């Protein structure tokens, strides 16, 4: 994602998942051009199998960069920061 973001907003997608006995938590990321700049669109979902996923959070982030804690997307709308390397919470 970081390379795609930095490489003139090359299209890319990535999903970070966590599984329980009957639950699935996911954060999906995709790069896309927004206006004149690159953005990362994120969607966080939670699902109790066999139900459909429930959207917990959606963000559009204007920057992706590496920190000591891993790769993060920030400058998001609504306000927030999201890790691309570990699930929230």
pLDDT at 87 over 70: yes
89 within a domain of the structure (yes/no): no
**Tens-digit pLDDT profile for residues 47-78:** 999 999 999 999 999 999 999 888 999 999 99
Q: What is the mean pLDDT of the chain?
A: 91
Instruction: Residue 6: give the domain boundaries.
Output: 2-83
50 within a domain of the structure (yes/no): yes
pLDDT at 7 over 90: no
Summarize the confidence of residues 3-7 as an average pLDDT.
Answer: 87
53 within a domain of the structure (yes/no): yes
Cβ contacts of residue 18 below 8 Å, gap of 6+? Answer: 24, 25, 26, 87
88 within a domain of the structure (yes/no): no
pLDDT at 89 over 80: no
19 within a domain of the structure (yes/no): yes
Cβ contacts of residue 55 below 8 Å, gap of 6+? Answer: 43, 44, 45
pLDDT of residue 55: 97
How many folded domains does the chain comprise?
1
């Amino acid at each position: 994602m970081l390379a795609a973001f930095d490489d003139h907003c090359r299209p890319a997608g990535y999903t970070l998942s966590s599984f329980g006995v009957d639950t699935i938590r996911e954060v999906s990321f995709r790069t896309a051009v927004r206006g004149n700049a690159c953005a990362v669109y994120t969607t966080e979902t939670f699902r109790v199998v066999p139900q459909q996923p429930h959207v917990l959070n959606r963000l559009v982030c204007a920057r992706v960069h590496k920190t000591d804690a891993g790769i993060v997307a920030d400058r998001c709308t609504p306000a927030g920061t999201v890790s691309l390397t570990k699930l929230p919470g």
